[in-house]
Structure 1
């Protein structure tokens, strides 16, 4: 008898008979609201071991005491059962322990989740409502975790970020023993990395705006850099901002765009200069990194416009800096032209450096605490900032969307199971599990990318 059979014996302990199996789930011919979830055959509180719970994300990253005290229930459903229904309220986070599920989001297509696969290690749902309808293709056992899970995970992450220190980097096993990466980790820990610095105009404007300056003062700082002035005028006249009156000077451009938006645009324009290298091979890596950051930032801009009250320029800047932690690694490699690994191997380390090194870079550059944490949160798919869509949620959705169609997407959660997506209103997902608003805004995304490229 395996552990699952111990949890769910094959007979009903009250009657000694095999529990009745509900009728199969009827074909979806009507509205989802008309369908009712199937009652589980058995549902009971359990005390799974820490090792069993750590099979799942983000449970595997919670501390042992939190896991031990986290309430959880096991439920057994028959084949053809409707486990939960898209759009209905959720009071728990669901995981597939055994069996196979068919998931139907707000889309013509569906996908399957099978036990012991990468998808089965991820939550089936998140947020206050289900993002898809789950139907049992076989008899399935479901682990239900208290809805406090996302809140606990986010709280633990915030505590870790608020007391961040320069500690050993956790590098993947395949590179952790290499001298180059060990040297980089040591330089990081000793705070001896060569960190990028902002161009003078961006630095002065950022500092000056802490003193509540006006448009005239901002223009005085900006106009010493003709390239930035030209770019701001171009932005002010683009379809994203333009009225019928054309602008041809810095003052009018700043006035139209707004002071806060101007600061973030100047920072965004200046950040491009950080993605540079004298080494030809490393320059390719920098350019690829910039292109990816530019795409994510453009997605952020449009998502902020369409789905939130967040200024799109704020979201644009947040998207640009989410991978800034990779720059010091490429700069470090530039110091050892004969010894650094090939570009593909360097890129393998990016996900592990993005958070801690990115935080260090942005903190050194004087960015706000809110933006300094973006590299840590950009690929934290289980982050839940609360009821309202926040800037970190925008970056998470844009980052996840940026992987669509790539090989990496196979190991990522479906967008309908991400807490950030639960804060987006209905009708935003198209048949390819892509955010429909981003598909429709393709021209605007291209326009934003052209402005900063």
Structure 2
């Protein structure tokens, strides 16, 4: 597909058709042609690679986890719709003939604001509209600039602390025992103290106290130790040299720790997800905001406009968070959870997943502080019913919060110590 053909094709996609020329040109620049021969896999089920795919030529099959296979012929109607786009991918996509497609980075689509409705044609612009358009343009250009720096391999994304990487590598290698892992953890006395405190908390306590880091690792097990070390190490990521950003980081850590504690408790109550996996997902669900706050310091007009900062966060936090977690080699389910953490309208027909659980935790955090009026009605948030069942109600959620308050407070204490 040559450049002219690709441009004409992309203009026919409803998501992109109304973009101003400067935004559309940047989307075209970021779009990548993809080709698959007959029998080859175009998209692997269960993954989240950070791209949205549009088919341009050929026939495909959609393969679901339950073995159901649907054949799709590329027609003018199917060309303009993304294919297998629910994350993690609900379907695998296999080429039944030579297939051509175009894929667009999700961060670029977010920067273009494709999910924000545009002004109706013919509607008169007011001074406020003009100001909003200017803010939209600054915010959008920041997103595109961020994507370009990422593509150029410039240092933009926050990195995981070295200790967390070393512990994960050692445990994943399956050649280390509790003593070796403990020795690694003990190189950071504060980390070792947190791990011992967690092992002795009500969530994990057995008979007697774990008095050493090695005993804590034995009690917790390797996988839980890995998840908790990653969790505790992340506090170092929530830092900034800028004074105003530092205050925002502190508030963000407090919010993230509370969501993490709620995720942990709800996962234990429901049994749908490993509690430590849920804890970690809750803690990193807003990690995209960290990159935005640090990167935005290069844009004085952005930092001096709190409304614009919030608009940029709202537009980019999900996709940027997903990109960071992908870079950190988190699971596809954790990547998708960061993207969909506030996607109240998320719908699917599978069993509840990590994204659903995180959405439910976000709802309960707002319920705890009487802020649910800003959300859709509870009965319209399908994630709640997948996680808590069809009998879910505000009253039962209040009961859950009351019953779990001690564990929530205890886990927050462990995270914040």
| Length-normalised TM-score, structure 2 | 0.65
Answer whether contact 1:223 1:250 (CA < 8 A) is retained: yes
- Give the direction of change, closer, same or farther, for the CA distance of 1:421–1:450 in structure 2 (3 Å limit): same
Q: Which residue of 1 is the match for residue 86 of structure 2?
A: 157
Task: Give, in whole Å, the separation in 1 of the partners of 2:399 and 2:82.
Answer: 29
Aligned to 2:108: 167
Q: 1:289 aligns with which of 252, 265, 276?
A: 252
Structure with greater Cα Rg: 1
The answer (yes or no) to whether the contact 2:302–2:308 under 8 Å persists in 1 is: no
Q: Distance in 2 between matches of 1:154 and 1:308?
A: 32
After TM superposition, give the deviation of residue 294 of structure 1 in Å.
Answer: 1.1
Q: Which residue pairs with 1:177 in the alignment?
A: 134
With 217-226 and 433-442 compared, the bigger mean Cα shift is at 433-442
Q: Whole-Å Cα distance in 2 between the matches of residues 159 and 307 of structure 1?
A: 21
Q: Which residue of 2 aligns with 1:388?
A: 351
What is the total number of aligned residue pairs between the two structures?
304
Please give the per-residue CA displacement for 1:213-235, whole angstroms capped at 9, x wherever unaligned. Answer: 44333223222111110100011
Q: Pick closer, same or farther for the CA change 1:247–1:407 going to 2, 3 Å.
A: closer
- Aligned to 1:177, the other structure's residue is in SS state helix
Question: What are the superposed Cα offsets for residues 339-366 of structure 1, whole Å, 9 maximum, x if unpaired?
Answer: 6234453123222212211111111222
1:237 corresponds to: 200
Q: Helix, strand or coil: the match of 1:195?
A: coil
Residue number in structure 2 paired with 1:299: 262
Secondary structure of 2:408's match? helix
Task: Specify the SS of the correspondent of 2:367.
Answer: coil
Match of 1:186 in 2: 144
Equivalent runs, 1:374-385 vs 2, <5 Å = 374-384=337-347
Q: Deviations over 1:301-328 (max 9, x none)?
A: 1100101242211100011111111111
Task: Work out whether residues 293 and 323 of structure 1, in 8 Å CA contact, stay in contact via their aligned partners in 2.
Answer: yes
Any conservation in 1 of the 2:199–2:205 contact (CA below 8 Å)? yes
- Give the alignment of 1:249-398 within 5 angstroms: 249-336=212-299, 340-384=303-347, 386-398=349-361
Structure 2, unmatched stretches of 5+, are 1-13, 18-80, 93-102, 119-130
- State the secondary structure of the residue aligned to 2:382: coil
Select the residue among 142, 159, 167 that pairs with 1:197.
159
In 1, are the aligned partners of 2:88 and 2:332 still within 8 Å (CA)?
A: no
Kept after mapping to 2: 8 A contact 1:356/1:376: yes
Q: Structure 1: how far apart are the matches of 2:239 and 2:185? A: 22
Residue in 2 that maps onto 1:447: 410
**C-alpha contact (below 8 Å) 2:368/2:401 kept by paired residues:** no
| Structure 2 CA distance for partners of 1:184 and 1:344, relative to 1, 3 Å | same
Q: CA RMSD in A?
A: 3.1
Alignment CA distance shift 1:438-1:406 (3 Å)? closer
Give SS of 1:373's match. helix
Task: Give distance in 1, aligned partners of 2:305 and 2:350.
Answer: 43
Q: Structure 1 249/298 Cα, relative in aligned 2: closer, same or farther at 3 Å?
A: same
CA distance in 1, matches of 2:231, 2:188: 15
CA contact (8 A) 1:285 1:343 kept: no
Q: Which runs of 5+ in 1 are unaligned?
A: 1-59, 64-151
How far apart are the structure 1 equivalents of 2:302 and 2:381? 40
Contact map agreement 2:164 2:229 (CA 8 A) in 1? yes
Larger CA deviation: 317-326 vs 236-245:
236-245
The structural deviation recorded for 1:416 is: 2.8
Residues 437 and 328 of structure 1: CA distance in aligned 2, closer, same or farther (over 3 Å)? same
SS of the residue aligned with 2:160?
Answer: coil
Matched-pair contact (CA < 8 Å) for 2:356–2:383: yes
* Alpha-carbon distance in structure 1 between the residues aligned to 2:349 and 2:167: 32
Q: Deviations over 1:160-210 (max 9, x none)?
A: 899662425144686663475344213222114621111111011223333
C-alpha distance in 2 between matches for 1:396 and 1:170: 25
Q: Is the 8 A contact 1:154 1:384 kept in 2?
A: no
Aligned to 1:360, the other structure's residue is in SS state: helix
Deviations 1:398-419 (A, max 9, x none): 1122223768633422223322
Residue pair 1:202, 1:266 contacting (<8 A) in 2 also: yes
The answer to whether residue 393 in structure 2 is matched with residue 429 in structure 1 is: yes
Indicate how the Cα distance of structure 1 residues 306 and 185 shifts in structure 2: closer, same or farther if over 3 A, else same: same
CA–CA distance in 2 between the matches of 1:181 and 1:430? 36
